[in-house]
Structure 1
């Protein structure tokens, strides 16, 4: 068994698409328009056949309170691995990405947390000092 897809709930798929591709650098894998909406998945350019990230509409009534509680408590919805957190932080800040936590090192892991502009906090993490 292996993970093939994971989802992040977004308020606006087009806005999320622009953020996740234009700012973070993901690539579109599938953009299927169905009768009831749009199935939109992205992949990392470093792993085009890897796990797909679905930009899922946040229409279900449970999504809003769930995401609001996570954001209020500063809890990221998901994490992305990067080689060098400090370098990625600087690259993303230069692209206009807003971070709610700058690079912070605990033990052997460095993390930073960004706002995806679509209702979620996302952690980037990697080894080494900030």
Structure 2
């Protein structure tokens, strides 16, 4: 069993597509109309275009709003994206106007930073920086 698609709930699919491709650098994969304003809309990493796709899922289900609001209020990222260098990616994204709620922090074996994806979510970027210790 492999992971093929993961979902990120978004307030506006077109705005999310523009942010995830234009700012973060993901590449579009699927864009299939589903009737009305909804689309099966996915993006993937340009480094792994045949890998896991992110579905930019409409956040219309009644459970989504309270769930996302609670995560954001507590500063908890919805998901995490791996990068080679958190500080370099932080500087690149901040230069593009991305708002970070957590600047890079070294937690020993991992460095993380957290940003607002403009679509209702906090997203973490992370890089392994060493070997975990006991």
What is the TM-score of this pair, normalised by structure 1? 0.97
Q: Which residue of 2 aligns with 1:13?
A: 13
Describe the SS at the equivalent of 1:65.
helix
Question: Aligned pairs, how many?
Answer: 129
Describe the SS at the equivalent of 2:50.
coil
The answer to whether 1:59 aligns with 2:33 is no
Q: Which residue of 1 aligns with 2:93?
A: 92
Q: Find the aligned partners of 2:74 and 2:34 in 1 and give their Cα distance.
A: 35
Describe the SS at the equivalent of 1:90.
helix
Q: Find the aligned partners of 1:63 and 1:128 in 2 and give their Cα distance.
A: 33
Question: Any runs of at least 4 consecutive aligned residues in structure 1 with deviations exceeding 3 A, and if so which?
Answer: none
Correspondences of 1:1-130 after superposition (within 5 Å): 1-36=1-36, 37-128=38-129
Deviations 1:45-70 (A, max 9, x none): 00000000000000000000000000
- Cα RMSD, aligned residues only: 1.0
Structure 2 residue ranges without an equivalent (≥5): none
Describe the SS at the equivalent of 1:21.
helix
| Offset of residue 23 of structure 1 | 0.7
What is the TM-score of this pair, normalised by structure 2? 0.94
| Offset of residue 108 of structure 1 | 1.4
